[in-house]
Amino acid sequence: MNSDLKVKIELSKATVLVTGAAGFIGSYLCARLLKEYEDIRVVGVDNMNDYYDVRIKEERLDKLVGDRRFVFLRGDIADKGFLAAVFDDHRPSVVVNLAAQAGVRYSIENPGAYIESNMVGFFNILEECRRAGESLSHLVYASSSSVYGMGSSVPYRVEDKVDQPVSLYAATKKSNELMAHAYAKLYEIPCTGLRFFTVYGPAGRPDMAYFGFTDKLRRGETIRIFNYGNCKRDFTYIDDIVEGVLRVMQGAPGKNKGEDGLPVPPYALYNIGNSSPENLLDFVDILQEELIGAGVLPADYDFKAHTELVPMQPGDVAVTFADVSALERDFGFRPATPLREGLRRFARWYKEFYG
């Protein structure tokens, strides 16, 4: 699955297109690129939809738009004409596609949004990369741990068979992997997919459990812990995710030949996860302590009165657990930020942002 031959990509004078640039991972990646590479040019695209609080997206963008090396374009990757103009005007050599309709639960409520963004939008990205030809050095795109569904043993390995998705979101992400593989084979576009595991941190997505729990506890509402607390999640801190993305961007799958002499698609897949699943009840305990420590909640807050154990929700799985041996082998990196440290940083940001 992962090509042994890596082509080194130099980012110092590159033009990098980041879609979903106002999103959680996208904004952090843009900031890191601008910090690391003095002569880089970063083109950020985002449709700024209101799936969650747009103020958070605006705050993320505010930290980027003052930099002359950063160009922000508001538009939707599902708009073929818009995306074609972006490629024509800016000619990126590296594309990182992080634009997507995220969330498992929302895919049950609003499936059309997932087809539009995750399927049509990604197809448009692939078509523009094909049209770019040799000027495009590497396409890196976001997949998800959700693709593992019900069909895998833990820890999840990229070689596992993943044909039993339990949500439409997961199905669209697996479709992205298949589409990218086809384009890598047909047009020799170097493509790398990244399966992210439960990303969290400051200025994160409000639909994620740690953020949603905090909102509800602050309002005095009851939080619901699914599967009666018998769930484990491989929580991965945002800085670790971005470090992984940055390293992968610089190592594109090579164009080589197989034992039969035929071209092997320049295509790779990696997990990026903490490889340390946390029980949800333990996670909630740590979150509570850090929210008190940051002054988000009072020291005498009655958590038991605001906690309810409930059955598993549709589209969810009991455990996520990343095998990152391929990432470590090829790029010398494995995420390692402890959950408590990451939640402490989130709690401090939350206190500062919401007051």
- Answer whether 274's CB lies under 8 Å from 240's CB: yes
One of 28, 148, 169, 200 is an active-site residue; which one? 169
Q: What share of the chain is helix, strand, coil (3-state, %, to 5)?
A: 45, 20, 40
The span from the CA of 128 to the CA of 108, in Å, is 30
Q: Say how many residues make up the chain.
A: 355
The span from the CA of 94 to the CA of 23, in Å, is 18
- β-pair partners for 71: 43
The span from the CA of 183 to the CA of 172, in Å, is 16
169 is catalytic: yes
Q: HEC string of 318-353? A: CECCECCHHHHHHHCCCCCCCHHHHHHHHHHHHHHH
**Known catalytic residues?**
169
